[in-house]
Structures are given as structure tokens and as C-alpha cells.
Amino acid sequence: MQTRNYILIGPMGAGKSTIGRLLAKELALPFKDSDKEIEERTGASIPLIFDVEGEAGFRDREQAVIAELCGQQGLVLATGGGAVLRAENRQAMRQGAVVIYLHASVEHQLARTARDRNRPLLQTENPEQVLTALLALRDPLYREIATLIIETDTRPPRMVVQEIMQFL
Ligand code: S3P
């Protein structure tokens, strides 16, 4: 029997990687993270890729990785917050997978990303403004492809995983 994929989407700081790793353990499936995959393949950090190739270059690499991983079976996949921007990615992610939108308020996203230098889009004077604008643009896209929407503001990762498991 083929096992479906479980794909985590949502903004930076929603906990996609932490929750993805825990969910993979619970389901006894391998865990992949699209950003880590890009870094491993290029041997470069996400900020360096943004510096050298711009956001468009990064998005091309992200699209290639997502297409490849969504073509496999039985993975838990955490995606970057902007992966839903491209229609090709949304289509690939929707195909035969459970797509879980981890929702987080801007306040919580900010608290969880405050000291992180690894997110080029947040290296600005006003990350709160950036996160607010990104969420306004992306929230409808997350909702468009989500099978499940889970609130992460009020629950620790283990509880989020238990909640996801109840729906599966
Ligand atoms: C991005 C989110 C990041 C990473 C890149 C761009 C975004 O991933 O893909 O910095 O556009 O929201 P996380 O959501 O895992 O932080």
C-alpha cells in the first residue's frame, strides 16, 4: 500500500520543523525539510543563496526540491513559509497529501524568530511589519490548500502533534 505524504505549511516561526520532526516520529516516517534539503544540495546557507541569486533564485531551487519530494511517498515534509507563493508548488503539495497549515499570530512568529539570523526576509528594521504583510498575502494561499488548520499559539509542539494525530 502506498503511504501518503504529510506536508506542513505556514509562516516562519509557526514551528513547522519542530512539529514535523515530532509528527514523523509518531507516524514512523522519514522527515524532510525543504530549506535543509536546499542547503544540503547547494552547500550554501539560505541567506547566502538569497545574497547571490536573489529571492527568485531561491524560489527556483525551492520549487525543484518540492516537486521532487512531493513525487515521493510516505514523507513528512516541512516547507518554507513562502513555498505556497508559486501555483506549481501548491498543486504539487495538494496531490495525495495531507496538508497541515500551522497557524501562528504575528506576535508569536515574532517571538520565535527574534534572534534568528538565518531568515533573510526578516533582516530588516521592522520584522513585525514584514511578517504582518507576508501573512496577509499568504494566509489565503495556506488556506486554499490546507486539509487541516491547527492553531499553534496556545499549544506546545507535542500537543499540536497530538491534535494532528486525532484528525488522521
Ligand atoms: C521564507 C521562509 C523560510 C525560508 C526562507 C524564506 C519565507 O523558511 O524558506 O527564508 O518566504 O517565508 P521557514 O518558514 O522555515 O522559516
Which among 58, 118, 83, 64 is positioned nearest to 8, based on CA atoms? 83
For residue 155, how far is the Cα from the chain centroid? 18
Three-class DSSP category at 47: helix
Q: State what percent of residues in the chain have pLDDT above 90.
A: 94
- Ligand 1: centre distance to CA 1 (Å): 33
pTM (2 d.p.): 0.97
C-alpha cell read off for 39: 542547503
Q: Distance from the CA of 81 to the center of ligand 1, in angstroms? A: 4
Domain-embedded: residue 165: no
Sign of CA dihedral 63, 65, 70, 71: positive
Domain annotation covers residue 83: yes
pLDDT at residue 45, as a whole number = 97
Task: List phi, psi (to 5°) of 109.
Answer: -60, -45
Rounded-to-integer distance, Cα 160 and Cα 119, Å? 24
> In this prediction, does ipTM exceed 0.90?
yes
Distance CA 38, CA 46 (A): 8
Contact 6, 70 (CB under 8 A): no
Q: Is the dihedral of CA 149, 153, 154, 155 positive or negative?
A: positive
Q: Are 66 and 110 in contact (CB under 8 A)?
A: no
Within-domain flag for 20: yes
- Host domain of residue 111: 5-159
Alpha helices in the chain (DSSP H): 16-27, 34-42, 46-70, 87-94, 106-113, 127-145, 157-167
Q: Report yes or no on 111 lying in a domain.
A: yes
> Does residue 67 lie within any of the structural domains?
yes
Q: Is the pLDDT of residue 148 over 80?
A: yes
Residue nearest to atom 11 of ligand 1 (CA): 82
Residue 164 inside a domain? The answer is: no
Please report, for the domain that includes residue 111, its CATH number: 3.40.50.300
Q: Residues comprising the binding site for substrate? A: 35, 59, 81, 138
Domain tally, the chain: 1
Mean pLDDT (the chain) is: 96
167 in a structural domain: no
pLDDT at 117: 85
Calculate the CA dihedral of residues 35, 89, 29, 9 and round it to 10 degrees.
Answer: 70
Three-class SS state of 134: helix
The model's pLDDT over 109-134, given as tens digits with 9 standing for 90+, comes to: 999 998 888 899 999 999 999 999 99
Distance 28 CA to ligand 1 centre (A): 26
As for ligand 1, residues whose beta carbon falls within 6 Å of it are 12, 16, 35, 46, 80-82, 119-121
Does residue 59 lie in a domain region?
A: yes
